[in-house]
Chains A and B, each alone.
Chain A
Amino acid sequence: MTKPTSSVGQPAPHDSAMAQVTGQARYVDDLPELPGTLHLAFGRSERAHAKISKMDLSKVEAFPGVEAVYTAQDIIGKNDVSPIKGDDPLLADREVIFHGQALFLVAAISKNIARSAAQLAEITYQDLPAILSIEAARAAGSRLEDEQVMRQGDAAKALAAAPHTVAGKLATGAQDHFYLEGQIAYAIPGEAGEMRVFSSTQHPSEVQGGIAHVLDCPAHKISVEIRRMGGGFGGKETQALLIAAATALVASQSGRAAKLCMDRDDDMAMTGKRHGFEMAYRVGFDATGVLHGIEMDLASDCGCSMDLSAAINDRAMFHADNAYALDDVMIRSERFRTNKVSATAFRGFGGPQGMILIERVMDHIAAELGLDPLLVRQRNFYRNPQDTAPYGQKVGPLEIEPIVAELAQTSEYQARRVEIDNWNEAHQTSKRGICLTPVKFGISFTTTFLNQAGALVHVYRDGSVILNHGGTEMGQGLFVKVAQVVADVFGLPLADIQISATATDKVPNTSATAASSGSDLNGMAAQLAAQTIRARLIQFAAERYKCAADQVHFSGGKVHVPGAKLDFAKLVEAAYLAQISLSSTGFYATPDITYDRKTHQGTPFFYYAEGAAVSEVEIDVLTGEARVRRVDILHSVGKSLNPAIDMGQIEGGFVQGIGWLTNEEVCFDASGRLTTHAPSTYKIPTSSDRPDHFNISLYASKGSAAETVHRSKAVGEPPFMLAISVHGALRAAIAATHRPQSGFVALDAPATPETILRAITPR
């Protein structure tokens, strides 16, 4: 057996797989606790919107085992844990703006005592009017920012001239991240105001900076570290700071280590979710299904504060074209403030909401004309690399057309459509539907400056390598991918690269591991760091072995020079003795992207990631219950860095998308209290929801057209949106229940059995 020369492209297992299956992988709550560690719990608001007239915490303080209770008045620095706007207090001060908001913080000798004591607070509220829906927010003019408009061509004119027009509405629900590991942080005070904080976060630098603000100290006093999270999905991007800042506040004031391990119910009530949207469209098209003009309205429920809502809603606008050329288009976006927990980042970051709207439009056009929805989609694809997206970016060459053509064939889409029609003809109480939807997802942070990353690589005298970078590991396989890239630079086996925890004192000023950009940015930065060291080694070897630099090669753990082959470690030791630096940082910033948020025009994306899915479903006409029968996916990851990891992202993202669109319903009662606050009431997909006929293939891509690391493409978010095909298939099945077949069916998300039954028998 010959060993592969490069680790890049190999299906290497997740670097922590062995540790995870044996229970040895440590998460924050598994770290040994220092003696005297305080355990924290928040006291939560029981009103959606109210003035706090009185907060009597005497019983909380008197509870045996409680060491201290903290309120907003105890915060020396800024009482704020927001990422941008300064509108998310760590602890509410005089007014609460959502049900579940943190009011005070209990520090006790055990978690159980802290939680029990927190229940004993006596809070007197003076209720204020609470806004709990988009409708109410619109009526009250409760907005977080002005309406945003993105346009290209003249939508109104094109609509007026179009042979056909239709209009419709679509609402999509919120979604809880349900990372299996709840939010958690552990702060350990050091000497002279230093503090080390272990935080389950996708954004250690923001946690660091946020804590420094809360404690009113320079950032260099605070170091934040995370080896791994038990899932993130966007939920630990900005939301982790609330928890980490609480531990830092207590650690700083008490001088003791402080841990906050959120109970699941607290976590779900107190931290943000995906934005719920209410959308509308008016579209003009011709008899062939080609779209002429379209107006889209995207309104979202941002909750009580800004958080990342501006960028999230922008991304919804950016994806309202999906893979379709919209020459005359107007996209309006409204961002409403309500008295709910602030909505936040979640895999797709607004993209899924924009995308499902245009996919709904395609199905509506097809139904109106009696055409195959796939044909309508294909007729509207971006075709010309000079085509511009509604935000003015030239889309360039895309892979979507060949992907869809291949998938339609391998999934036997046409033959199955006929089979399904026959089935529906023969069955009264069971109907089936099929739908193919594409995904084209823009890669890059649309806040352009965030597209930067740093890495730190050390080579030790024995030839072993340690790798550090600003990206965080939440299960997505980032660490192993970046290690593969570094192993490739040195021609070393993957096992020779030691992965280390993300820490703000190793690599500073990092961006969140988000926007699917983890391996693009950090892979590139680490590659550059490793290449810097390799270049020094090459120069050294060329001098020592009297050859040209391009005659020095690294592979299989050896260094090859003309006429000799030596162990990598040997060369490293020799270089060390020759006083050559064996450590380097690497820094990468994505080139060529610009964006003007004022006009919503520019080139915000480095490239696009594409794929497509075909889903088939069956519904029970009497009860509205549904099952996904079969899924076929063809997705492009460019040249894969690790096909096993990529396949895992595709399947996992897809199933999470099924959850968003089917069973995951976030419910609030009339008082604004979250009623789906635990897995007993909030139902993410389980293994039996996964169809057995589930075929996933990686598209044989020629590689990313953009100069990405090894021509790979980002994979974290795009597959989530492939699940839109399931929602389309459900609508197709529902349409088959109507006699005469109406063709088009309005169906909101999530399509629970209740929602489906309502669509079958509209009241």
Chain B
Amino acid sequence: MTDHQQICFVLNGQMVRVDPTDTHQTLLQFLRSHPERTGTKEGCAEGDCGACTIVIGQLDGDKVQYRALNACILLLAQVDGREVITVEGLQDQTGRLHPVQQALVDFHGSQCGFCTPGFVMSLYAHYRNQLPNDRQTLKNTLAGNLCRCTGYGPILAAGQAMYGYDAPEHIDSVSLLREVSKEKPLQLEAPGIDPTQTEHLFAPTNEEELQDLMQTHPDATLWAGGTDTGLWVTKRLSRLPCMILLHKIESLNFIHETSDGLHIGAMTRYGQLIELITEKWPGFGEVIRRTGSTQIRNAGTLGGNIANGSPIGDMPPILIALGATLVLRSKNGDREIPIEDFFIEYGKQDLRPGEYVQTIKIPREAEQLQFTSWKISKRFDQDISAVLGAFSFTRTHGKITEARIAFGGMAAIPKRAAACEKALLNTNGDAAALADAIKALAEDFTPMADMRASDQYRMQVAQSLLQKALLTESPVYLGKSEGAA
């Protein structure tokens, strides 16, 4: 592995090389350390308000792909080889505003203005990707940008009008990106916050390097999208003596449709998955749409959501209900296990030293299942689930011959509802069967109470979701803003 001690990226059209002084430095901290780059704001430092939204460009063949991300929980090292566009980089040479900026002025889209740069950048990514500007699509784009002043109407109106302005000249950054983005492994070393300690950061470019690093640094923290680990740094103020960033490993980012099912690389981001998943399992796709925000879905990965082992991760219950398996890889080879066996207890997963989640496999048969899933949270968009229920049934002549029911938020791990499944087997899922299954569900779980929901509500709503899954009429779904039946 060649040493590559500088972080190198394109910032608003200029090449930047940085000798990092701290492996934990976030992009936001880096940007704001310069008096002319304070347009990007810190509102929460946990990826939940969007005031720090910036746009990342990444070379994809001859084109650049743009995504909005939260700079507050993005390590500076994560932008090595990328293009970074901030609110200061949008006006053209003559100072003319970009259409998203002009539209926000014209439609009175800023009041206190502190969230505004984030909205500008989210809309800018929307504009660069030429996404449709109907209100639902705009709301998906903007759900991760909180505004406390406007009520959002003027901002949505600006989004709807932005394509009507004269097209701006965007800087062509392909050649610059070619220069910075030769995917070189990154290896940083810097003193810690305690200057007597040295901290390390690696960003390998292939799995072999990863496996070697995991062997030489057995206590290293693997860093996928950083949408949770980022908070360890910004909120818990954790110091991670060694971090291994996975985003440069292309062999972990893939979606393969094979004869035996869908194979998804662990580093595949939600944003890359949503379209195909929605096509196959609309309920699953809708949960992805409501997982985090656009910025979070542009960073967070399927493998990260699983390996993290959170009892409230949205993907595991769904994958359990679909009968998914995990390929766990280490220098010693691969091991494939059902995903439900991966979660042992709170904070403990079936992951041996040197092993990492490589692939998530959803079997082909899962496409034939009668599958539904629902997410329950205080706020529809960009909230963490109080309860997530996933239900899949196989029926033969109306009788349920197989049931896979899994919940998040109901136990210390994402977990199947064994007694409930059993109660439904060989029934036709009618009212009597439902009554038994609802009773059985109370045996399966003893949910916790916290600020998201009480234990009683968790149980009651889990039972409600079961009822919805078995309803013959189409159930009410208010999660989509246009979705009122």
Q: Identify the A interface with B (CB < 8 A).
A: 11, 13-14, 16-27, 29-30, 32, 63-65, 112-113, 115-116, 119, 177-182, 228-233, 263-265, 427, 429-430, 474-477, 618-627, 629, 644-645, 647-648, 651-656, 663, 665, 667, 675-676, 678-681, 683-692, 694, 752-754, 757-758, 761, 763
14 further A-B contacts with Cβ under 8 Å, apart from A618-B478, A655-B151, A679-B44, are: A20-B110, A21-B104, A21-B109, A25-B116, A263-B45, A625-B376, A627-B484, A651-B151, A679-B146, A683-B378, A684-B146, A685-B152, A686-B145, A687-B145
What residues on A are CB-neighbors of B484 within 8 Å?
618, 627, 629
Residues A679 and B104 in contact in the complex (CB < 8 Å), given A23-B39, A687-B142: no
**Complex: chain B residue closest to A229, CB-CB:** B112
Q: Contact at A112–B193, with CB atoms within 8 Å?
A: yes
Q: Contact at A623–B461, with CB atoms within 8 Å?
A: yes
Least CB distance from B288 to A in Å reads: 15
Q: CB < 8 Å: which of B32, B144, B155, B464 contacts A622?
A: B464
Any A CB within 8 A of the CB of B450: yes
A186 to B112, CA, bound (A): 19
What residues on A are CB-neighbors of B479 within 8 Å?
625
| Cβ-closest 9 pairs across A and B | A23-B39, A475-B112, A230-B114, A20-B113, A655-B151, A651-B151, A475-B111, A23-B87, A679-B48
Majority SS at the chain B contact face: loop
Least CB distance from B53 to A in Å reads: 12
Residues A64 and B120 in contact in the complex (CB < 8 Å), given A180-B112, A180-B148: no
Q: Contact at B451–A665, with CB atoms within 8 Å?
A: yes
Of listed B88, B102, B235, B379, residue having the most chain A CB within 10 A: B379
Q: Contact at B46–A264, with CB atoms within 8 Å?
A: yes
Q: Contact at B482–A692, with CB atoms within 8 Å?
A: yes
Residues A688 and B112 in contact in the complex (CB < 8 Å), given A625-B478, A665-B451: no
A-B pair count, CB < 8 Å, reads: 280
Q: Contact at A17–B451, with CB atoms within 8 Å?
A: no
Q: Contact at A23–B380, with CB atoms within 8 Å?
A: no
Any A CB within 8 A of the CB of B150: yes
A477 to B110, CA, bound (A): 10
Residues A228 and B113 in contact in the complex (CB < 8 Å), given A14-B108, A180-B41: yes
Q: Contact at A23–B38, with CB atoms within 8 Å?
A: yes
Q: Contact at A13–B108, with CB atoms within 8 Å?
A: yes
Q: Contact at A14–B111, with CB atoms within 8 Å?
A: yes
Q: Contact at A688–B380, with CB atoms within 8 Å?
A: yes
A624 to B476, CA, bound (A): 11
Any A CB within 8 A of the CB of B182: no
Q: CB < 8 Å: which of B116, B456, B485 contacts A21?
A: B116
Q: Contact at A681–B38, with CB atoms within 8 Å?
A: no
What residues on A are CB-neighbors of B482 within 8 Å?
692
Q: CB < 8 Å: which of B41, B153, B377, B451 contacts A676?
A: B451
A249 to B457, CA, bound (A): 48
Q: Contact at A688–B111, with CB atoms within 8 Å?
A: no
Any A CB within 8 A of the CB of B409: no
Least CB distance from B282 to A in Å reads: 18
Residues A626 and B478 in contact in the complex (CB < 8 Å), given A22-B87, A475-B113, A663-B378: yes
What residues on A are CB-neighbors of B155 within 8 Å?
687
Interface membership of chain B positions 347-365, coded 1 if the CB is closer than 8 angstroms to chain A and 0 otherwise: 0000000000000000000
Q: Contact at A675–B451, with CB atoms within 8 Å?
A: yes
Q: Contact at A264–B43, with CB atoms within 8 Å?
A: yes
Of listed B152, B454, B468, residue having the most chain A CB within 10 A: B152
Interface membership of chain B positions 46-63, coded 1 if the CB is closer than 8 angstroms to chain A and 0 otherwise: 101101000000000000
Q: Contact at A23–B476, with CB atoms within 8 Å?
A: no
Q: CB < 8 Å: which of B105, B235, B454, B460 contacts A18?
A: B105
Q: CB < 8 Å: which of A116, A475, A687 contacts B237?
A: A116
Q: Contact at B45–A652, with CB atoms within 8 Å?
A: no
Least CB distance from A89 to B in Å reads: 26
Q: Which of B258-266, B381-389, B390-398 faces chain A? A: B381-389
Q: Identify the B interface with A (CB < 8 A).
A: 32, 35, 38-46, 48-49, 51, 86-88, 90-91, 97, 101-102, 104-106, 108-117, 120, 135, 138-140, 142-156, 193-195, 235, 237, 374, 376-384, 386, 450-454, 456-457, 460-461, 464-465, 467-468, 471, 475-479, 481-485
What residues on A are CB-neighbors of B106 within 8 Å?
13
Residues A688 and B143 in contact in the complex (CB < 8 Å), given A26-B38, A622-B467: yes
What residues on A are CB-neighbors of B454 within 8 Å?
754
A754 to B449, CA, bound (A): 12
Least CB distance from A360 to B in Å reads: 22
Q: CB < 8 Å: which of B102, B112, B377 contacts A228?
A: B112
Q: Contact at B48–A678, with CB atoms within 8 Å?
A: yes
A249 to B146, CA, bound (A): 34
A626 to B467, CA, bound (A): 18
Q: Contact at B150–A622, with CB atoms within 8 Å?
A: no
Least CB distance from A437 to B in Å reads: 18
Residues A654 and B476 in contact in the complex (CB < 8 Å), given A228-B113, A231-B112, A686-B381: no
A63 to B237, CA, bound (A): 14
A394 to B101, CA, bound (A): 48
What residues on B are CB-neighbors of A229 within 8 Å?
112
Least CB distance from B236 to A in Å reads: 9
What residues on B are CB-neighbors of A648 within 8 Å?
108, 111, 149-151, 154
Q: CB < 8 Å: which of A16, A621, A687 contacts B152?
A: A687
A626 to B484, CA, bound (A): 10
Q: Contact at B151–A652, with CB atoms within 8 Å?
A: yes
A757 to B154, CA, bound (A): 33
**Complex: chain A residue closest to B119, CB-CB:** A21
Q: Contact at A32–B110, with CB atoms within 8 Å?
A: no
Least CB distance from B445 to A in Å reads: 17
Of listed A22, A179, A476, A694, residue having the most chain B CB within 10 A: A22
**Complex: chain A residue closest to B106, CB-CB:** A13
**Complex: chain B residue closest to A428, CB-CB:** B473
Q: CB < 8 Å: which of A25, A644, A656 contacts B148?
A: A656
Q: Contact at B38–A17, with CB atoms within 8 Å?
A: no
The contact sample of 9 A-B pairs, CB cut-off 8 A, is A14-B111, A17-B110, A21-B105, A230-B113, A429-B475, A623-B468, A627-B483, A656-B148, A678-B235
What residues on A are CB-neighbors of B43 within 8 Å?
180-182, 264, 679
Q: Contact at B379–A663, with CB atoms within 8 Å?
A: yes
Least CB distance from A719 to B in Å reads: 9
What residues on A are CB-neighbors of B39 within 8 Å?
22-24
Q: Contact at A623–B237, with CB atoms within 8 Å?
A: no
What residues on B are CB-neighbors of A679 within 8 Å?
43-44, 46, 48-49, 146
Least CB distance from B480 to A in Å reads: 8
Q: Contact at A17–B104, with CB atoms within 8 Å?
A: yes
Least CB distance from A646 to B in Å reads: 10
A63 to B239, CA, bound (A): 14
Least CB distance from B259 to A in Å reads: 39
Q: CB < 8 Å: which of A13, A181, A263, A624 contacts B461?
A: A624
Residues A180 and B115 in contact in the complex (CB < 8 Å), given A678-B44, A686-B379, A688-B380: yes
What residues on B are CB-neighbors of A694 within 8 Å?
153
What residues on B are CB-neighbors of A619 within 8 Å?
478
What residues on B are CB-neighbors of A688 within 8 Å?
139-140, 143, 380-381, 481
A679 to B45, CA, bound (A): 10
**Complex: chain B residue closest to A180, CB-CB:** B114
Q: Contact at B111–A477, with CB atoms within 8 Å?
A: yes
What residues on A are CB-neighbors of B456 within 8 Å?
763
Residues A690 and B376 in contact in the complex (CB < 8 Å), given A22-B91, A180-B114, A648-B108: no
What residues on A are CB-neighbors of B42 within 8 Å?
29
A29 to B104, CA, bound (A): 23
What residues on B are CB-neighbors of A14 within 8 Å?
108, 110-111, 113
What residues on A are CB-neighbors of B384 within 8 Å?
680-681
Q: Contact at B46–A623, with CB atoms within 8 Å?
A: no
A477 to B46, CA, bound (A): 29
Least CB distance from A668 to B in Å reads: 9
A736 to B261, CA, bound (A): 46
Q: Contact at A686–B382, with CB atoms within 8 Å?
A: yes
Least CB distance from B386 to A in Å reads: 8
Q: CB < 8 Å: which of A116, A620, A629 contacts B193?
A: A116
